[in-house]
Amino acid sequence: MRWACLVGGTGSNLRALIDDGAPIRLVISHKAGVGALEIARAAGIPQVVLPARQYPVREEYDAALLRILGEAGIEALVLAGFLRLLSDRVVDTYAGRAVNVHPSLLPAFPGLHAVRQALEYGVRVTGVSVHLVDRGLDSGPIIFQEAVSVRPDDTDETLSSRIHAVEHRLLPRAVRLLDAHRLEVQGRQVVIREE
Ligand code: GRF
């Protein structure tokens, strides 16, 4: 399938996807000047910056997003650091073909600053969730989860870096499986079909 990666940060997950050979044909960032765009440029992947302030109304933002995705013939989405909630129209267009990575063991700590939320809560274990995107906030059926222990002296940076290492392993695996049509959704469960 032709994939677009939606970004907005350093792009370390985009890097991991590219290194894994994921068929990323377009990178869209909600923010200019971020590392992810530099990574896309270096890899020769076309990129578009779609800043929120250009389209203050979400429906208009997502109409522009859908137009760009459609023109590029994009069939599947991988969200990695894209900090905008997608409207129902986008979610429905890519239902079952959109993956997100989130730095916590969902349903704990959805939304922004999940690592900070976990530290502030004082949990002993947090982790990574890779899930399909549905209409809610970080609420879609889960493809992979892996725990990461919290150390007493952890900071946002130290814990984030161990979480990132897990993300870089799980997200490309999920994209590969979805790309190979090996993920089947049965209610809340994602079943991985044998090859
Ligand atoms: C990751 O931690 C991901 O879980 C969250 O945003 C971060 C993106 O990091 N959704 P990067 O830009 O891929 O380095």
Nearest-atom number in ligand 1 for the CA of 8 is 12
Handedness of CA 135, 141, 144, 150 (dihedral sign): positive
Read off the DSSP letter of residue 47.
E
What pLDDT is attached to residue 195? 81
Nearest-atom number in ligand 1 for the CA of 13 is 13
From the list 163, 142, 148, the residue with the least C-alpha distance to 81 is 163
From the list 22, 62, 44, 49, the residue with the least C-alpha distance to 175 is 22
Q: What's the CATH code, domain 1-94?
A: 3.40.50.170
What pLDDT is attached to residue 18? 98
Summarised one tens digit per residue, pLDDT across range 128-174 is 999 999 999 999 999 999 999 999 999 999 999 999 999 999 999 99
**Residue spans in the chain of domains classed CATH 3.40.50.170:** 1-94, 100-195
Query: Which of the residues 102, 131, 164, 168 is marked catalytic?
Result: 102
Summarised one tens digit per residue, pLDDT across range 173-183 is 999 999 999 99
Pocket lining for ligand 1, CB < 6 angstroms:
7, 9-14, 36, 80-81, 101-103, 164, 167
Verify whether residue 102 is a known catalytic residue.
Answer: yes
What pLDDT is attached to residue 70? 98
Instruction: Pick 100-195's CATH classification: 3.40.50.170, 3.40.50.920, 3.40.50.12160, 3.40.50.11540.
Output: 3.40.50.170
What pLDDT is attached to residue 47? 97
